[in-house]
Amino acid sequence: MFDIENLLYSFERKQKTTQRRDLLLLEQNIESLYKNKTVLLESNLKHILSINSISQYKELYVQFSTQSKNKLCIYSKIQKEIAKQKVNKKERTLDLGAIFLQKVSLYFQERLCQSRRYQNLKHIIQDEHLFLKDLIQQFKSQVQKISYRTLVFDFHLSKQNKSVLGRTEKEQLINYNQKMLMDEQFVLDFFNRYPCLLRSISNEMRKSKKIILELFDRYEKDKVVIAKNTLRVDIISKVKKIKLGLGDPHCDGRRAIAIQLEHGKIMYKPRDSSPEFFYSMLINKWNSVIKDPNYVIKVPKGIYKEEYSWIEYIPFNECKYTIDIHSFYKRMGVQMAFLYALNATDLHFENIIAHGSHPVLIDLECLFSIPLSNRNPSNILGAHYKIQNQIARSICSIGLLPTSNEPTKDISGIGTGMSNKIVVKSPQITKNDQTEIKIKNLDLNYTMFKPNQPKFKGKKILVSNYIDDILQGFEKAYQYIEQDKVQFIREISNQKLHVRYLAKSTNKYTSTLDLSYHPRFLHHAMDRELFLLKACEPLNRSNHNISIQKNEFRELLNGDIPYFTVDIHAKDLIASNHKRIKKVFSYSPFHYVCEKIKTFCTNDLNFQMEIIRMSFLTSHAEKKTVQKQAVPLKKSIQKFQQKDFCITKAKEIGDYLFSIATTGTNFEKRNICWLQSSAKTENTKILKVMDDTLYDGITGMAVMYLLLWRVTKDYKYLRIAEDMMEDMMCRFQSNQLHLPSHSIGAFSGISSILYASLSFYFYTQNEKYILFSYAMIEDISNLLQLDRHYDIIGGVAGLLLVLIKFYEITRDQDILEVAKSCGNFLINQAIHINNNEVGWKGISQKLLTGFSHGNAGIIFALQRLYTYNKDEEIVNIIRKALSFENNNKVNTFWIDLRKSNKQIDAMTWCHGSPGILLSRLELQKSIHVSFSQQIQLDITFALSNILQHGFHNDNSLCHGRIGNILILLQYARRVHDKKLQKASQNLICEIVKEMRFESENPLNPRENIGIMTGLAGVVYALLYVCDDTLPNIMTLG
């Protein structure tokens, strides 16, 4: 049973022994949110709420009295006043909760209009009736956002309790909406069931009333200067209407408000806008010296006050002439240079208005961005930290560069020009044909168009056609700043600025706030507290600051997005209540920006311009069609005489890769890492710190340098390899590896490290590597049941192959037992399609063919296990998995099942005939005659497919021609086909001779450096070609 007292937060209660309430919901929420992590919960309670134990929190939950009876009296009065509101029949609709929302809005209007301040200021309104009608509609929308889940929940609860009348759901909806919600007693009981909803709605009323009256008061005071300086009119305008809810609520509900006046429109920003006015000053100085009008920048005019400002309203306008488009992007490039110099962040499509040929920036809160102090000083010297800092200081951190060529998902400031809409998943109340009420995440047009992108004659403008204009503007402004760094820094030093600091992403705060209004957390205020305590945990424990966490909790509890600012000349953070959090930063934002500007030089300019070029090439270019051609083998060549070339070229590329590496010190030893341009999704490329995977990370680089030492005997490569391996061993022990969580696979998971340590032991015979390998087994075994990948890349099949390698090196029966458990896990997770076919549904939730993610790779791993574990169940699963893969063929080609259009044979190691050939070669070892005929047929088909269609325009091992030719080479060695072997070896050399390495341009998006995706793989291929004792990394040999 719930009652209105449950709206009190823990800090508003005092313990009482006479009254006892139910603990069940709290216990369920503790289990759901903290999952037995009682130490973490007690820490949060102690540091945030000053409650010493979970038991003390529970006591306050069930046995308490209020510290202020007046508070409860106020909420009780609001509850009664809302319940008794009368709604006109004209305003009653079938929309769920419409009557409830109308009651709340009517009471809000009543409170606002009865206010003495409102009565004294309402003369500034042109038409009070129309103004209030529009205002109440907006307030209704605000209340709906926090109450829709509860209304849906309560409607279904009422149906279960049979308290709602009607035979069909439509009749029940009418009864609930127009009878029950109209009933005064029902609404009173409704708030008793969900007292925290009453509190949240009351808080919205209080904040909205305060904000509106504050706006009126300030407009009355400033209206003359607004008319003269911003609107440029002689007449003092009255307010026609205001648009609330622009942006996120901060500092007790304050947001930007658009004001429609009799003569014009203006923006009101209830915060310190000094960053925008400072930026305008810098730009106006630029405008005064620039001679070419195509580079002159428009900035909004405004009136700056310490706590608020009035800003010129900038409408979206199309370009009039084609030359305007070029000017638009030149001006965009100019502003990118200034924003880069000022270390701006969080600038997305909402922050730019395409005003004809001018990109106009709005809401420049996040200038002078700076990282928190790192609480582990040794990390600052490490290679990973250096690269993270390089990315954080780069142009890509601003938020302007596009991150996807899926136009409806791109939220970047510049965009792609491919769409003027943004689509987000948003919870909405839906009705099906039977009017069944549900909440679903549906695609919602977040805005009719993205105003950041220019248009010409109503047509979309592709940014890819104007990259040169952006680069010209950026270069011009960058050089302007570089040429007079001292003066630029002096101008900053004279400013007294407070800029916003983002402790977490706004999206994270917004989703947290939205979920805190779930009915599960609205029965009892301490349940909502519990949820927000968990949500406010730091993203990075090494940078944990309890004062930041406290302020986040306090603001979210109040329905606000946490808002922090920083004085650019100080190291302290300032919370929204103006309290200082001391020495949060190692340097002041001013110092951080100054140091950055001092590094401006030609090399940095070229680096940033390459990032810009890379972003647009990736995001705008149409996806290249993979050209599949016949492999140009010259079988007449009888000898392979290019071993010297292979070794020389391998060393050359290895040296080049090390030259672009970042070195640092970690655990008092040298560590090595790379800045990498990497595919985030199929359509997205980002800069990132190289992770620790075998696929395209540090493990792959370490193995490559280990093998380079093995072949060349040059110990400098062993030192490089061992430095990387030892660093990963130390980071494993301190839980600092950079790997996908819960991934145990050999290419993208924790087994990558195990594979590398076994390789190092095999070639160096250093005992520390085998001891480390044993130490890893317990940790890896604990992750086995969590695996949902199953495949070679990220799942247990890859782990199984590494364990077989481990067993072959040590002949340790305990290792074989772990391998058997992996095999059993795979067998148990198989999806039985019918009596004759099985497959595995990994993360993609699709049954797949192929080596990296599909049946071929899992078959390969199970066959390797069968070599040492003659279990007929393994044979049975292999037979059925083989049947599924071969039933997904068209003629001789295997179907790629990743996409709905079922493309025929990707012709790569990862998907298609090349990987399937590797799988079938392993199955040849099977003694089961039932396999042999089908396997030989598959080998014939796969080999023919590769020879006819396996020569791609990509050079990687994973999905390129070098990988395919190495597979041909392995086949040739297996079947002793000397002609094919020599032809494959020579073809690899010819491909490498034709390659152009971008030594001046390591960020070329067409060139990766990982072992399965880029240059390290080329080194490996050259070594594999000239030394047949090396393992095939594509099969984890």
Residue linked to tokens 């070195």: 663
Q: Assign 3-class secondary structure to 189-240.
A: HHHHHCHHHHHHHHHHHHHHHHHHHHHHHHHHHHHHHHHHHHCCCCCCCCEE
DSSP conformation class of 239: E
**What is the Cα–Cα distance from 870 to 823, expressed in whole angstroms?**
12
User: What are the tokens at 92?
Assistant: 């009653």
The residues with which 269 forms a beta bridge, in sequence order, are 309
SS3 591: helix
113 is in an annotated binding site: no
Q: How many other CB atoms are there within 10 angstroms of residue 895's CB atom? A: 20
Q: Where are the beta strands (DSSP E) in 60-119?
A: 64-66
- As a whole number of Å, the CA-based R_g of the chain is 33
Is the separation of the CB atoms in 387 and 485 below 8 Å? no
**What is the Cα–Cα distance from 582 to 562, expressed in whole angstroms?**
18
CB under 8 Å to 138, separation ≥6 — which residues? Answer: 243, 244, 245
The residues with which 348 forms a beta bridge, in sequence order, are 412
**What is the Cα–Cα distance from 888 to 865, expressed in whole angstroms?**
25
Choose among 107, 112, 108, 87: nearest CA to 97: 87
**DSSP per-residue codes, 797-844:** HHHHHHHHHHHHHH--HHHHHHHHHHHHHHHHH-EEEETTEEE-B-TT
**What is the Cα–Cα distance from 671 to 384, expressed in whole angstroms?**
9
Tell the burial category of 632 from Cβ atoms under 10 Å away from its Cβ (0-12, 13-18, 19+): exposed
Element (H, E) at 630: none
The amino acid at 277: F
**What is the Cα–Cα distance from 282 to 131, expressed in whole angstroms?**
39
Cα–Cα distances (Å) from 548 to 51, 466, 504, 673, 797, in that order, read: 18, 42, 10, 31, 43
853 is in an annotated binding site: no
CB under 8 Å to 232, separation ≥6 — which residues? Answer: none
**What is the Cα–Cα distance from 497 to 465, expressed in whole angstroms?**
38
Is the separation of the CB atoms in 1003 and 614 below 8 Å? yes
Please provide residue 950's backbone torsions phi and psi, each rounded to the nearest 5 degrees: -95, 15
Is the separation of the CB atoms in 605 and 612 below 8 Å? no
User: What are the tokens at 947?
Assistant: 């020879």
**What is the Cα–Cα distance from 63 to 15, expressed in whole angstroms?**
6
The residues with which 426 forms a beta bridge, in sequence order, are 442
The residues with which 15 forms a beta bridge, in sequence order, are 64
Is the separation of the CB atoms in 353 and 300 below 8 Å? no
Q: How many other CB atoms are there within 10 angstroms of residue 836's CB atom? A: 11
SS3 168: coil
Half-sphere exposure of residue 605: CA atoms within 13 angstroms, side-chain side: 19
Q: Are strands 309-312 and 675-681 parallel, antiparallel or unpaired?
A: unpaired
910 is in an annotated binding site: yes
Choose among 340, 344, 279: nearest CA to 309: 279
SS3 helix, strand, coil % of the chain, rounded to 5?
Answer: 55, 10, 35
The residues with which 498 forms a beta bridge, in sequence order, are 567
Choose among 185, 194, 170: nearest CA to 95: 170
Q: Residues annotated in the binding site, as ranges? A: 910, 958-959
Q: Residues annotated in the binding site for Zn(2+), as ranges? A: 910, 958-959
